[in-house]
Amino acid sequence: MTSRGLQVAASRDWHSGNIVMARKHLGRKQGSRNKGFFYRSGRGWYTKEGGRFTPLTDENGNRLKDPEIKESVVKKAYARFLAAEKQAMVQLVTGVTVQEVCEAYLANCKANDSPATFVMRSTSLFDFCSGFPGKYRDGRKRNPKDRIHDGYGGMPVDDLKPIHVDQWLQAHPGWNGSKRSHIQGLKRAFNYAAKQEMIPRNPIKGFKAPKGNGRVTYIEPEQEEAMIANTNKAFGEAIRILIRTGARPGIEFASLTAAHVIDHGDKMEWVFKAEESKTGRKRIIYVTDPHIMSIVRRQIERHNAGPLFRNTRGNPWTMEGLRPSFDRVRRKLKKKGITLDKDACVYSFRHTYAKRCLDGYWTQKPISVETLSKLMGNSVEICREHYLAWDQRYTEQLWAAC
């Protein structure tokens, strides 16, 4: 007995003596996807690359549609497809450099992402392309001795290998917990270029970024005073301001200008527009500390235009300048027997603000995570994730439940 599309054949199971009816599908080849090609019922032989189905053809460009065609014929058609793809890849990538990819991505990033993201990505990619630290992105004079690696901007994309990314990271031993962010930015640049068909594929696809460091570290009051006593005045003031205001080091502290400041006399507001904010929402930093306000007023008198907070050379602070300053004072303290948490970094100043606010360190009035989220310009969910264990009300409830 047969039915449409099936052929039934009888055979004997020589162990049991029973007749076994075997069914065989007609018009379809199965189980050949692992070879790179397969038969699609009613359509012919296909291959799939990057989510795209492509029909296989003979030497004259005619589609292979016969399901019973010899496998050797299909293999040759598939080999022709691979050769054509390889040739197209070579032609497409010829002349496209790493720097051109990065510039195209950054143009898109500037148009569609937050200013904070653009600054972070452009600084990182400038370093990768030029071989100079990101602080030289502002156009300052570069000396050959300041180059920290060869720079890969002039390299054709098809010559770029994962080993080059690894060498780039090795040139930055101080990045530690921020390596993941730098790798992600680089991969996104090449993913963007591939999506826009500037290049056929991401040459560093699969390069593994280290897991993000989820530890939230803070600075004890004694450590804060020791850091300030063992650094220059400019960085000492930066430490004091970052801890007392909770400002984000790069997008807020380093970017603050006189235009952002609203001085009410006994208090201040630092107001960042939505397009200037990391979160894409209006950000207000509330300042009540008289010492911090006096520093801001002094800096407004000195720098009515441009960023207020400057390093010892009179240049605006950047994350690239804050990080090495932090590392230098850490080394000084270590020689004196004062150690910081191994994961402590510039962002620990912001975490310190969070902990001290929750503890009521400055006001003697502990606050909730919900209130902290307003002060820090974060969502309640983010503050809960990072700081809930520091909320006294939360921990008191845990103790009461024991």
> Does the residue 75 lie in any domain?
yes
> Does the residue 349 lie in any domain?
yes
Q: Is 316 left (phi over 0), alpha (psi -120 to 50) or beta?
A: beta
Residues 123 and 240 both lie in one domain: no
8 A C-beta contact, residue 270 and residue 264? no
Residues 139 and 284 both lie in one domain: no
Residues 228 and 330 both lie in one domain: yes
Closest CA to 215 of 359, 340, 385, 343: 343
Q: How far is CA 223 from the centre of its chain?
A: 30
pLDDT value, residue 289: 96
Interatomic CA distance for residues 152 and 5, integer angstroms: 59
**Tens digit of pLDDT for each residue in 150-164?**
999 999 998 999 999
Residues 395 and 274 both lie in one domain: yes
Domain that holds residue 267: 221-401
> Does the residue 204 lie in any domain?
no
pLDDT value, residue 212: 55
Residues 150 and 178 both lie in one domain: yes
pLDDT value, residue 94: 55
Last residue of one domain, picked from the residues 134, 162, 196: 196
Residues 245 and 387 both lie in one domain: yes
CATH number of the domain that 317 lies in? Answer: 1.10.443.10
Residue type, 49: E
For 52, residues 6+ apart whose C-beta sits below 8 A from its C-beta are none
Residues 312 and 394 both lie in one domain: yes
Number of domains into which the chain is organized: 3
First to last CA, the chain: 74
8 A C-beta contact, residue 294 and residue 311? no
8 A C-beta contact, residue 357 and residue 375? yes
User: Could you tell me the mean pLDDT of each successive run of 10 residues in the chain, 402 residues long?
Assistant: 41 43 44 74 86 87 91 91 73 75 94 82 93 84 88 93 94 80 93 92 86 73 96 97 95 94 96 89 95 97 94 91 92 94 90 93 92 92 83 60 60
Burial class (CB in 10 A: 0-12, 13-18, 19+), 87: exposed
For 301, residues 6+ apart whose C-beta sits below 8 A from its C-beta are none
pLDDT value, residue 398: 52
For residue 360, the tally of other CB atoms under 10 A from its CB is 12
Residues 184 and 257 both lie in one domain: no
Residues 305 and 159 both lie in one domain: no
pLDDT value, residue 264: 96
Residues 234 and 375 both lie in one domain: yes
**Tens digit of pLDDT for each residue in 342-360?**
888 999 999 999 999 999 9
> Does the residue 104 lie in any domain?
no
pLDDT value, residue 91: 52
Residues 182 and 292 both lie in one domain: no
> Does the residue 2 lie in any domain?
no
> Does the residue 21 lie in any domain?
no
